[in-house]
């Protein structure tokens, strides 16, 4: 997209899901540009969770461009998603009252558990809406909403994908792409990372590293959000024609549903 910028910047699109990201080049200067990023980005930059924010600018068509320092690095691999460094970042923003206050100030969306379930049910294709097992999971989640009703809400990233973790050449780790940020139960974040990247046999160890006491309430919340996130992934993979990944999620749900045992 050709932005009318009066300062000599040349924009080069960067591949991604949104099509909103660019490498901006002017003379010897290079920055990471994104249009219409969350206004919460400035607070994250100050905390060192995202790369440093350099400037924000409203351009001719009304869009807002944000420029962050350009960092050479790479995204994480799936088998790197169980690291202490990732847990440290998650704990930092989950436990930050300052970030929560800043997100409230910019009118961050508050996301209640039933809203995650509604995201799955909205515009659901017939293959999934008529699947008796998936409907059993939906009914179970509706029946057990009380498991997750009294949670303390925190800042949640909302899209903990390995591609949103940037490891720089000097081994600094950042979490980027905060367009899905929300105020929600931190288990919505925790379970998304676990169901995508961590073998269920390692979940207890992960919870230990995060610093969670393994109470009945913790296991109930983790179970609820794990099911809802697996449903959301099933829907996503179905829409993308990724049938192997979709069936893997369904198999995980069947195993968890059959073997569900509340720790006592």
| Helical packing angle, 186-197 and 216-239, nearest 10° | 60
| Residue 148 · residue 221 · CB < 8 Å | yes
134 and 85 in a single domain? The answer is yes
Indicate the residue among 24, 55, 70 that finishes a domain: 70
**In what side-by-side order are the strands of the sheet with 10-13?**
10-13, 21-26, 29-35, 64-69, 53-58
Domain with 20 in it: 10-70
64 and 173 in a single domain? The answer is no
**In what side-by-side order are the strands of the sheet with 165-168?**
73-75, 165-168, 173-175
List the single range of 125-134, 181-190, 211-220 with lowest mean pLDDT: 211-220
57-71 residue pLDDT tens: 877 777 777 888 888
| Residue 229, domain member (yes or no) | yes
| Residue 3, domain member (yes or no) | no
Does 16 score more than 60 pLDDT?
Answer: no
Does 27 score more than 70 pLDDT?
Answer: no
How does residue 171 score in pLDDT terms, banded at 50, 70 and 90? very high
How confident is the model at residue 240, as a pLDDT?
97
Collapsed DSSP state (helix, strand, coil) of residue 225: helix
Nearest to 184 by CA among 157, 210, 161: 157
Report the C-alpha gap between 136 and 130 in whole angstroms: 11
67-99 residue pLDDT tens: 888 888 899 999 999 999 999 999 999 999 999
214 and 91 in a single domain? The answer is yes
Does 21 score more than 80 pLDDT?
Answer: no
- What pTM, to 2 d.p., does this model score? 0.88
Residue whose structure tokens are 């219409």:
36
| Residue 210 · residue 202 · CB < 8 Å | no
15 and 140 in a single domain? The answer is no
Report the C-alpha gap between 92 and 76 in whole angstroms: 19
| Residue 63, domain member (yes or no) | yes
How does residue 201 score in pLDDT terms, banded at 50, 70 and 90? very high
103-112 residue pLDDT tens: 999 999 999 9
104 and 212 in a single domain? The answer is yes
| Residue 136, domain member (yes or no) | yes
User: In percent, how much of the chain has pLDDT > 90?
Assistant: 73
206 and 246 in a single domain? The answer is yes
| Residue 1, domain member (yes or no) | no
Average pLDDT over residues 173-202: 96
Which H or E element spans position 73? strand 73-75
225 and 113 in a single domain? The answer is yes
Indicate the residue among 22, 54, 70 that finishes a domain: 70
137 and 20 in a single domain? The answer is no
239 and 109 in a single domain? The answer is yes
What total number of domains does the chain contain?
2
Which CATH number fits the domain that encloses residue 29? 3.30.200
Does 36 score more than 70 pLDDT?
Answer: no
List the single range of 10-14, 35-39, 108-112, 220-224 with lowest mean pLDDT: 10-14
214-254 residue pLDDT tens: 899 999 999 999 999 999 999 999 999 999 999 999 999 99
Q: Residues with catalytic annotation? A: 159
| Residue 24 · residue 31 · CB < 8 Å | yes
Average pLDDT over residues 131-148: 97
| Residue 158 · residue 182 · CB < 8 Å | yes
Report the C-alpha gap between 207 and 203 in whole angstroms: 6
| Residue 66, domain member (yes or no) | yes
How confident is the model at residue 8, as a pLDDT?
67
Indicate the residue among 51, 70, 89 that finishes a domain: 70
Q: Which residues on adjacent β-strands are paired with residue 33?
A: 22, 67
Report the C-alpha gap between 262 and 221 in whole angstroms: 11
Report the C-alpha gap between 127 and 136 in whole angstroms: 15
174 and 217 in a single domain? The answer is yes
| Residue 228 · residue 189 · CB < 8 Å | no
CA dihedral 117, 228, 127, 196 (to 10 degrees): 140
């Amino acid at each position: 997209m050709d932005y009318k910028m009066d300062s000599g910047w040349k924009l080069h699109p960067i591949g991604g899901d949104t099509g909103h990201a660019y490498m901006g080049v002017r003379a010897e200067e290079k920055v990471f540009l994104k249009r219409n990023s969350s206004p919460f980005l400035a607070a994250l930059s100050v905390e060192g969770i995202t790369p440093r924010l350099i400037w924000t600018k409203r351009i001719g068509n009304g869009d807002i461009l944000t420029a962050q320092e350009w960092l050479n690095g790479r995204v994480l691999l799936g088998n790197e998603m169980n690291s202490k460094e990732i847990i440290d970042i998650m704990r930092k923003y989950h436990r930050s009252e300052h970030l929560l206050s800043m997100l409230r100030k910019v009118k961050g969306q508050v996301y209640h558990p039933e809203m995650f379930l509604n995201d799955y049910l909205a515009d659901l294709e017939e293959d999934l809406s008529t699947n008796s097992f998936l409907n059993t999971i939906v009914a179970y989640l509706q029946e057990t909403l009380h498991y997750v009703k009294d949670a303390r809400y925190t800042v949640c990233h909302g899209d903990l994908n390995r591609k949103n973790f940037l490891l720089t050449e000097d081994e600094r780790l950042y979490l980027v792409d905060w367009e899905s940020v929300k105020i929600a139960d931190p288990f919505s974040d925790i379970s998304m990372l676990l169901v995508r990247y961590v073998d269920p046999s390692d979940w207890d160890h992960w919870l230990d590293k995060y610093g969670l006491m393994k109470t009945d309430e913790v296991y109930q919340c983790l179970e609820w959000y794990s099911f809802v996130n697996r449903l959301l992934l099933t829907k996503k993979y179905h829409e993308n024609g990724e049938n192997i990944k979709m069936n893997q999620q369904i198999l995980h749900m069947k195993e968890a549903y059959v073997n569900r045992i509340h720790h006592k």
